[in-house]
A and B are shown apart, each in its own frame.
Chain A
Amino acid sequence: MLTNYSEHYLPNGIRLLFMPTDKFKTISMALFLHQELSPDLAARSALLPAVLEQGSRQYPDKLTLQRKLENLYGSDLAADIVKSGERHVMAFSCETPHDKYLGQNGDLLSKGMSVLGSVTGDPLTENGGFKKDYVSQEKNQLIKDIRAMLNDKGTYAYERCIALMCAGERFGTYKLGSIEDYNGIDEEALFNYYKRVFYANPLDLYVIGDLEEQEVLEAAGEAFNFSRSEEQGGLPATEVDRPVTEVRYHEESMTVNQAKLVLGFRTYTAYGDEQYCPLLVYSGILGAFPHSKLFMQVREEAGLAYYVHSRLEKHKGLMVISAGINYQDYGEARDIIDRQLEDMVSGAISDKELDNTRQGLINSLRSQQDSPARLISSHLDGSIGGRTYTAEELIAGIEAVGRPEIQAVAEKIKLDTVYVLRPGKGGDK
């Protein structure tokens, strides 16, 4: 019923994961380059996809590249950086419509793959480095993006909480690094970094669409023919066992209307752990759904918030509760939230909450099968977390979770950091 990938290796060692399916109107291709998340490397890893996306030897500037993509029926090329646990993944993707909906064979698989191959494997260089203009331009853009974190107050509060909570851990690194880190990077250093990581770091290519295995292997082999190291270095695992000595409280004021409350917890449970499914159910009952305790109590009963939820950072084993409230309601909101957490520990969970949450999680897992992007990201989680689950395995795991398993998870969870962004003077630096 649920489709899975077939795994192949290209001649240069790139792992290819192919899923044949006629469900979608598209051909989806995505290449992921794995790197460790670390404060020393973060800016370079963020800058690299941004620079590569500006142009390649074959399509030397953005204008030429975009025109090529438009002629391939608006194929979408994207380059991005993803922070997932203490892994930093450079992501390059190309999505084209499938030829059969265009009434002609436009050979969009091999053409799209070739653009992706060109941008990642055959970059534009000058004097032994990347093009200088592109590097300085993208440094400016990324510095701007780091500053722009401030513009969405919810995201800003979340990132501030993580940075404060995980200061001194690799996970405390922002996905774009810090502004100062960009000063030291020039076009030559970045090009050397490019050569090193594309040569030696793990590289996964995903393809999903109504395609034959043979044509995919050929198109991929041709597009990604750069040489690679036979030995691939391993990447360090994400640290999930940092103890909490005392709860830290941070407050910051800014000229805003609504206060943002963010609570950071350590669950001591990572993606590959036996307790991962119980953790999913735990967070589901507490705050992942509109039927969850937080939504029901903080919003529906008390009317204190429009949004209130818990989210997991599944690889780092963190749980974060976020809410937008009136600052003067802070005490009441905290009391209600704390009571929900206590109920989780004492097992005060109704059959309905348990059953609804299991069903909600299963619904979400099955729905993944209908989106190429989610099919890819869920498999990628397996590579990052060191354990690949099929959808069926996770569903069976969730079905097996009962109160004792949830309480066992609840007892391990520790509040680490409270962050409050409150209305007041500030934010104008």
Chain B
Amino acid sequence: MPENLRLIENRELHETLHHYRFDPGLDLYVLPRPGYQKKYAVFSTRFGSIDNRFRVDPDPTVTELPDGVAHFLEHKLFEDERGNVFDRFAALGASPNAYTSFSQTSYLFSCTANFEQSLDHLLNFVQEPYFTEQTVQKEQGIIGQEIKMYEDHPHWRVFFNLLAGLYQKHPARNDIAGTVESISKITPELLYRCYNTFYHPSNMAVFVIGDLDPEQVGRQVEANLSGRGYGSMGKIVRLFPEEPAEINRQKTVQELVVSEPIIFIGFKDNGVTKLDSSSLMRRELLMELVLDILFGSSEKLYNDLYRENLIDENFGAEFAADNNYAYAMIGGETRDPDQLYQRVLEAVREFKKEGISDEQFERHRRKILGGYIRRFNSLEFIANNYLAYRFRGNEMFDLPSLLQDVKKEEAVRVAEENLDPSYHALSLVMPPQED
């Protein structure tokens, strides 16, 4: 076995992942999927909307970015000197796409033919930036329309209003695409500076999945990287403002044209910044269990609320965590947000008194395990999520064994800490008041 190859086994799922490390520090993961027609590859950088202040060791100069640069850069990489990148994927019959989240930007394609050429094309266009005044200006118009589309999207608005309520300073409170105003400050120079920092291979990873020979993919990626003349890179230091434990504002209300009010209730997790990445993953899994036990469709609260017509099937709860921020979020559409709000808080209080039964814990554990296995049908799910875990410092394939390992008592403890009413906020989208 080559020196730069490591095998990551998952016995439960019958999967063997091949992990290569190439100079100057690029991670490649290949998961063979015999029998699949589709091949899928994703090339990601650890650069998302929250990375808006940074410096690179040993240079003390700090760069501050207007909101929306990572997303803007994502759009602009699809254009190069030869024109439009979509076109060349299309010529290969491959289907490309890209997305930007809080903490990463990913470029991807799927295809059922011409895999090698498509993979080269992906690796090439992401490594060959081309930004001009003119193309930047045109993109401001397109992204301006994207921003407007989200401004009209009630669930998106209620979500970001909640984050802006929970956080005083942390950049997770800002919309991923920025604002029409913030993106007007973006210049080609700024894009190049970010590109040269965050698109160094040591800050990136590739995940490839399909009916493929890992060794061959390894050779191809290694060959593509070599000869590009990458130097070594200093450590990227991401600078985050000191976030106070206290929330920013308790209640945010926005009027939009909706059929009925939408409410999201959030609990800010102030313990998360002190955790190493494996404790973070454990906490996330425990919170997923707790929230499902508290608010899931197999439990009394959900069924009571549903019968009283206070929620619909889309009511739900989730926990989101990254290395320096985390929150629990509960909500949905409702005819009576005040009442639903009270009932959620009451449930959190009751839970702390009553705890969890063994039967509940086991049942929800099974549900999460089964859901995880079912998602493994999807190549996209595996590739995209694997890299998100990886960038956070986690091994996604550990989930089944971690799920077996967590204890009910831990779940209760984590819930106590996390669902603290002193650190909660609510966000409402309301239909317009009648004149």
Contact = CB atoms under 8 A, between A and B. Distances in A.
A428 B434 contact: yes
B415 to A, nearest CB: 19
A372 B378 CA distance: 10
B96 interface: yes
B138 interface: yes
Contacts of A70: 298, 363-364, 366-367
A153 B256 CA distance: 11
A125 interface: no
A192 interface: no
Interface string A2-37: 100000000000000000011111100000000000
Interface string A391-429: 000000000000000000000000000000000000111
B369 interface: yes
Q: Chain A: interface residue count, which band?
A: 35 or more
A74 B368 contact: yes
A151 B259 contact: yes
Interface in B18-55: 35-38
Interface in A337-380: 352, 355-357, 359-360, 362-364, 366-367, 369-372
B214 to A, nearest CB: 19
Instruction: Report which residue of B86, B91, B257 has the largest number of chain A beta carbons within 10 angstroms of its beta carbon.
Output: B257
B171 to A, nearest CB: 23
Contacts of B432: 255, 427-428
A326 interface: yes
A24 B33 CA distance: 10
A22 B258 contact: no
A370 B300 contact: no
B142 interface: yes
Contacts of A97: 369-370, 373-374
Interface string B107-127: 000111100000000000000
Contact of A370 (B36, B154, B373, B374): B36
A137 to B, nearest CB: 6
Contact of B35 (A23, A141, A257, A429): A23
A299 interface: yes
Contacts of B146: 306
A71 interface: yes
A307 B150 CA distance: 12
Interface string B357-395: 000000110111111011011110000000000000000
Given A73-B369, A73-B373, A256-B257, A359 B93 contact: yes
Contacts of A102: 12, 369-370, 373
B7 interface: no
B306 A62 contact: yes
A393 to B, nearest CB: 16
A367 B259 contact: no
B347 interface: no
B309 interface: yes
B367 A74 contact: yes
Nearest to A3: B35
Contacts of B220: none
Contact of A62 (B154, B297, B376): B297
A98 B435 CA distance: 57
Nearest to B333: A148
Nearest to A358: B93
A281 to B, nearest CB: 14
Interface residues of B, number: 72
B298 A63 contact: yes
A314 B35 CA distance: 29
A370 B256 CA distance: 40
A387 interface: no
Contact of B96 (A24, A258, A290, A356): A290
B370 A290 contact: no
A367 B145 contact: no
A329 to B, nearest CB: 9
A145 B370 contact: no
B273 interface: no
Contacts of A61: 303
A45 interface: no
Interface in A122-145: 133, 137, 140-141, 144-145
Given A101-B14, A359-B90, A258 B152 contact: yes
Interface string B137-174: 01101110110110111110000000000000000000
Interface in B269-321: 296-300, 303, 306-307, 309, 312-313
A324 interface: yes
A66 B155 CA distance: 26
A74 B377 contact: no
A300 interface: yes
Contacts of A62: 297, 303, 306
B280 to A, nearest CB: 24
Contact of B431 (A63, A355, A357, A428): A428
A363 B93 contact: yes
A305 B142 contact: yes
Contact of B370 (A23, A74, A147, A355): A74
B84 interface: yes
A64 to B, nearest CB: 9
A427 B431 CA distance: 9
A76 B373 CA distance: 12
A367 B153 contact: no
A279 B113 CA distance: 23
A357 B364 CA distance: 45
A96 B145 contact: no
Given A137-B309, A352-B91, A67 B298 contact: yes
A367 B149 contact: no
A246 interface: no
B160 to A, nearest CB: 15
B87 interface: yes
B113 A363 contact: yes
Nearest to A61: B303
B142 A306 contact: yes
B374 A74 contact: yes
Contacts of A63: 298-300, 303
B92 interface: yes
A247 interface: no
Contacts of B73: none
B74 interface: no
Contacts of B306: 62, 137
B14 A144 contact: no
A141 B363 contact: no
Interface in A276-296: 289-291, 295-296
B223 interface: no
14 contacts: A21-B35, A61-B303, A140-B309, A148-B258, A256-B257, A257-B152, A290-B86, A290-B90, A295-B86, A307-B145, A352-B91, A356-B93, A370-B37, A427-B257
Closest 8 CB pairs of A and B: A359-B93, A74-B370, A73-B370, A291-B90, A74-B367, A66-B298, A427-B257, A147-B259
Interface of A: 2, 21-26, 61-63, 66-67, 69-76, 95-98, 100-103, 133, 137, 140-141, 144-145, 147-154, 254-258, 289-291, 295-296, 299-300, 303-307, 324-326, 352, 355-357, 359-360, 362-364, 366-367, 369-372, 427-429
Given A101-B13, A258-B152, A360-B95, 13 more contacts: A69-B298, A70-B298, A70-B363, A74-B371, A102-B370, A141-B309, A291-B86, A299-B142, A306-B142, A306-B145, A360-B93, A367-B112, A369-B37
